[in-house]
């Protein structure tokens, strides 16, 4: 035995037989388990908190003292390798400290804009 639904669309009446009794018990269990699992996942912490700032790093201004391009390879239109830099920190708690760092390069020659030169002032993340 089924139920009939009557609805109207653009002044026309339609009658559709709604199937009743074809849902099996295992289907209901699957639906209930899926809903419970979905609601439970909403309350599981992700490990990311909102607006959490990284307290272990800081931005500071530095100047490049020397550049070593000996590890850069040019293969056709591609530049890859590392550019070794010696920098001097200008502001912050590490003022006047000299550090060694690298600039990793992988990409096309015409797209790479970060081949640094000496005495270039930059903003670094320490």
User: Among 56, 52, 68, 70, which Cα is nearest to 100's?
Assistant: 68
- 28-43 tens-digit pLDDT: 888 889 999 999 998 8
User: How many C-beta neighbours within 10 Å does residue 99 have?
Assistant: 14
73 and 37 both lie in a single domain: no
| Pair of tokens at residue 83 | 């550019």
Q: Can you tell me the mean pLDDT for 1-23?
A: 53
pLDDT value of residue 34: 93
Name the residue with higher pLDDT: 54 or 105.
105
Residue 54 lies in a domain: no
- Say whether both 68 and 100 belong to one domain: yes
Same domain as 67, residue 97? yes
- Please give the Cα distance from 29 to 45 (Å, whole number): 26
List, in sequence order, every residue forming a beta bridge with 101; answer none if it has no partner.
85
Same domain for 17 and 69? no
Residues 64 and 112 both lie in one domain: yes
The Cα–Cα gap between 102 and 71 comes to 11
Q: Which of 17-21, 80-84, 107-111 has the highest mean pLDDT?
A: 80-84
105 within domain boundaries = yes
Instruction: Name which residue leads in pLDDT, 83 or 11.
Output: 83
> How far is CA 24 from each of CA 29, 57, 90, 92, rounded to the nearest angstrom?
9, 58, 72, 69
Q: Please provide the average confidence, as pLDDT, over all residues in the chain.
A: 77
Task: Give me the pLDDT at residue 9, please.
Answer: 57
Q: Tell me how many domains the chain contains.
A: 2
Residue with tokens 């920190």: 89
pLDDT number for residue 35: 93
In a domain, 27, yes or no: yes
The residues pairing with 79 across neighbouring beta strands, listed in sequence order, are 74, 107
Residue range 2-20: average pLDDT? Answer: 52
Same domain, 66 and 21: no
Domain of 81 in residue numbering reads as 59-125
Q: What is the mean pLDDT of residues 74-86?
A: 87
Say if 52 falls within a structural domain. no
Q: Taking 70 as the threshold, does the pLDDT of residue 14 lie above it? A: no
Q: Which two tokens stand for residue 84?
A: 């070794």
If you average pLDDT over residues 44-70, what whole number do you get?
79
- Position 1 scores a pLDDT of 46
């Amino acid at each position: 035995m089924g139920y009939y639904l009557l609805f109207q669309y653009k002044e026309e009446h339609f009658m559709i037989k709604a199937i009743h009794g074809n849902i099996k018990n295992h289907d209901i269990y699957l639906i209930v388990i899926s809903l419970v699992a979905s609601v439970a996942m909403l309350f599981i912490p992700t490990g990311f908190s909102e607006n959490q700032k990284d307290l272990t790093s800081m931005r500071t201004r530095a100047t490049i003292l020397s550049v070593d391009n000996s590890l850069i390879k040019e293969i056709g239109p591609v530049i890859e390798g590392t550019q070794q830099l010696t920098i001097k920190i200008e502001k912050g708690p590490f003022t006047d400290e000299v550090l060694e760092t690298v600039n990793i390069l992988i990409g096309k020659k015409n797209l790479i804009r970060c081949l640094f030169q000496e005495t270039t002032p930059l903003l670094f993340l320490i």
